[in-house]
Amino acid sequence: MRPRLYWPITFAAAALVALLTYGVASVGPDTSLDEALRDGKRVEAPVKDLPRLGGDGTASLADHKGKVVVLNVWASWCGPCEAEMPLLQRTHERIARKGGMVLGIDAQEPAERGLKFVHEKGITFPNVRDNDRDYIRKFGVSAYPETFLIDRTGKIAALTRGPITQEWLDRELAPLLEEKA
Amino acid sequence: MRVLLALVLVLGLTAAAEPKTTLPDVEDEVMCVECRTGLNVSTAPVADQERAFIREKIAQGLTKQQVKDALVEAYGPDVLATPEAKGFDLSAWIIPGALVAAFAAGVALLARRWRRAPAATPAPDAPELDPADARRLDADLAAFDR
């Protein structure tokens, strides 16, 4: 190859490879939150105003500071989400008097579908919508359901990527409810 | 006159009743948001929900673009099969164009070089045959002519 062409072509090929590498690396979910929690650190929960499902205006985690929040990401078309709804509803009712609550995030579906699901399942805890997934991406959400426990200071204390169980709630949620703000 | 008016009315009604787009027309340009495959090949529950949503919008008389806009409003931009023109996805729009431009520039450069290249030099004359070989060649050619 002529020396005059060698460097521009090499540079262009290297740039293309770097771009592809970045693309492949950035496709996967962000696992930094999981790593921090594994190391025993609590991470400040992202806050964003999101439209209320079935209501006017917006709501965010900031509205519930001082409470322990079970933040659950769901969609009506997700079977495991549907299966864990009764447990979430029972938990919401049980922890209310201890300064706790469940906050649902309905993702990637028309509002009317989410609302119909909420009515059918008899859900009374508040829900917001994140149809473009901008907010839940900050939690590294890659599938549904996923649940995050937010302490009274607004920090993420635990998470589960998949359906919750009563054992997990007993182990992770109960101690958080005993903490003071 | 009445016949003409009736004809115009009938034609108008026919045009209004015709759907502005079809499910297959939209389906191959959007994704199943759960399985990340084309909606036209997905059998996931959410894909059925998306298809029902599209049919509903088509029945309302929306155009293809309006149906796609409604899908983005409901399911977010991930529902579109085409990459967004922002962030890393922007490279999907830029790189093919840049490659085509680079190829065109290369072809233009080569064409200019070929045009500038000196005219082909004529092949050197064949060496002279020595008299003995020339005589033998003439004799052979004469033998072929016979």
Residue A11 has pLDDT above 60, yes or no: yes
If interface means Cβ-Cβ distance under 8 Å, which residues of chain A face chain B?
A: 12, 16, 19, 22-23, 26, 75-79, 108-111, 113, 131-133
Same structural domain, B63 and B103: no
Q: Does domain A31-178 have CATH number 3.40.630.30?
A: no
User: Domain tally for chain B?
Assistant: 2
Mutate to test the interface with A, among B31, B34, B36, B84 (most CBs of A within 10 A): B34
Q: What is the amino acid identity at position A22?
A: Y
**pLDDT of res. A166:** 97
The answer to whether the CB atoms of A109 and B49 lie below 8 A apart is yes
Residue corresponding to tokens 């709501």: A59
**pLDDT of res. A12:** 82
Residue B133 within any structural domain of the chain:
no
B131-136 — which CB contacts under 8 Å span 24+ positions?
A: none
Distance of CA A134 to the CA centre of its chain: 10
Same structural domain, B70 and B88: no
Helix (H, G, I), strand (E, B) or coil at A68: strand
**pLDDT of res. A172:** 97
Q: What residues of chain B score a pLDDT lower than 50?
A: none
**pLDDT of res. B145:** 83
Distances (CA, A) of A54 to A12, A110, A123, A144: 51, 11, 12, 21
Same structural domain, B29 and B55: yes
User: How confident is residue A1, by pLDDT bands cut at 50, 70 and 90?
Assistant: low
**pLDDT of res. B59:** 95
pLDDT digits (tens, 9 = 90+) for A80-115: 999 999 999 999 999 999 999 999 999 989 999 999
Same structural domain, B29 and B50: yes
Last residue of a domain, one of B81, B103, B130: B81
**pLDDT of res. B5:** 60
Task: Say whether pTM exceeds 0.80.
Answer: no
Residue A144 has pLDDT above 60, yes or no: yes
Closest residue to B88, CB basis, from A26, A109, A110: A26
> In chain A, where are the structural domains located?
1-28, 31-178
Are the CB atoms for A76 and A113 separated by under 8 Å? yes
Cβ neighbours of B52 in A, within 8 Å:
none
**pLDDT of res. A27:** 65
Residue B76 exposure: Cα atoms within 13 Å on the Cβ side: 17
Separation CA B8–CA A166 (nearest Å) = 68
Give the mean pLDDT of A54-76.
95
Residue B104 belongs to what domain range? 84-112
**pLDDT of res. A104:** 98
